[in-house]
């Protein structure tokens, strides 16, 4: 009995010490550091977004470019990948399924957040904290859209 309690305590402690954020809704406040530390308008990802006429493909390319330029690791199917490898994977997914993708949210939910088996894809930051890829991508998409909305308001549109 004592061994069972000790084992359960160790397992619970290990689970509590691991930072994994589960399924927050798209509108929730970000619980992760931004992928980039500079203003959106100064980022190379934003230049990619603008070059795609700011439509769905631009948003998707923006997110892929953010991942590529981040220092994050991606964990998919139990394996760790570099940000560049993750961006290549997502770019292939986007190009292969572009005609089926109805929105940026559809791309995030269907191709960028889960494996074919339905297992979540994770993002690991430099500090070793782990987040759901879905959560990170929705947060970055929301920040981009808020930036665009403020830019249009300031331009009087």
Distance of alpha carbon 129 from the chain centroid: 14
Burial of 76 (0-12, 13-18, 19+ CB in 10 A): middle
Residue ranges of domains in the chain: 40-154
pLDDT of residue 11: 34
How would you write the pLDDT of the chain (157 residues) with one tens digit per residue? 444 343 333 333 333 333 334 344 344 444 555 554 445 555 665 665 555 454 568 899 999 999 999 989 999 999 999 999 999 999 999 999 988 999 999 999 999 999 989 999 999 988 999 999 999 999 999 999 998 888 777 766 5
pLDDT of residue 71: 87
d(CA 24, CA 22): 6
Residues 6+ apart with CB under 8 A from 130: 18, 19, 20, 21, 75, 122, 123, 124
d(CA 14, CA 129): 14
pTM above 0.85, yes or no: no
């Amino acid at each position: 009995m004592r061994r069972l309690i000790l084992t359960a305590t160790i397992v619970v402690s290990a689970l509590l010490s691991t930072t994994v954020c589960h399924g927050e809704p798209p509108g929730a406040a970000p619980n992760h550091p931004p992928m980039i530390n500079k203003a959106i308008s100064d980022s190379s990802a934003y230049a990619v977004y603008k070059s795609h006429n700011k439509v769905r493909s631009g948003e998707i390319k923006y997110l892929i470019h953010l991942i590529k330029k981040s220092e994050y690791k991606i964990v998919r199917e139990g394996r760790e990948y570099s940000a560049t490898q993750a961006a290549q994977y997502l770019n292939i997914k986007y190009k292969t399924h572009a005609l089926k993708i109805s929105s940026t949210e559809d791309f995030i939910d269907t191709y960028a957040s889960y494996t074919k088996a339905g297992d979540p894809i994770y993002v690991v930051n430099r500090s070793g904290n782990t987040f759901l890829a879905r959560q990170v991508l929705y947060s970055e998409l929301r920040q981009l859209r808020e930036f665009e909305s403020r830019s249009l308001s300031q331009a009087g549109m």
